[in-house]
Structure 1
Amino acid sequence: MNIKYYSRPGCGLCEEGILMLKLVQEDVPFTIEEINIEKDDLLHERFMLMIPVVEKDGEIIQYGALDYVTLLDGIAI
């Protein structure tokens, strides 16, 4: 299973979010595809006010302040 993680460099919330996502990864096997929104104008426009954003199968699981329970529920389904 592949999880997309949209973020940008220098984003403190994004740094915290990837740590939370890696905690969930310890309980549920999946790969994390980190995507820098600053490298794509469309992604930057779409997600700049939402990052970090966690997406599975084209659906957003959670964005902003990420928490373990919501991520686990969204990824484990």
Structure 2
Amino acid sequence: MIVKFYSRPNCELCIEGLHTLKIVQEDIPFTIEHYDIEGNDEIHEKYMLMIPVVEKDGDIIQYGQLDYVTLLDALSE
């Protein structure tokens, strides 16, 4: 399973969110593909106010303040 993680540099919420996602990864095996929204105008426009964003199979699982339970439930399905 591949999970996309969208963030930007120097974003404290993104650093915390990635940490939470990696804790979930200890319980469920998946690959994290990390995307810097600053490097792509289309992605930047789409997610600029939402980061961090976690996406699986084209669907947004969670954004902003990420939490373990929500991510675990969504990625366990």
Question: TM-score band (shorter)?
Answer: over 0.9
The alignment's TM-score, normalised by the length of structure 1, stands at: 0.99
Q: Deviations over 1:10-59 (max 9, x none)?
A: 00000000000000000000000000000000000000000000000000
Letter in 2 for 1:26: E
Counterpart for residue 15 of structure 1? 15
CA shift for structure 1 position 69:
0.3
Q: CA RMSD in A?
A: 0.3
The whole-number CA distance in structure 1 between the counterparts of 2:61 and 2:72 is: 10
TM-score, reference length from structure 2: 0.99
Correspondence list, 1:1-77, <5 A: 1-77=1-77
Aligned residues: percent identity? 66
What is the total number of aligned residue pairs between the two structures?
A: 77
Structure 1: 5+ residue stretches without partners? none
**Uncovered stretches (5+) of structure 2, i.e. residues with no partner:** none
CA distance in 1, matches of 2:70, 2:37: 23
Tell me the SS of whatever aligns to 2:33.
Answer: strand
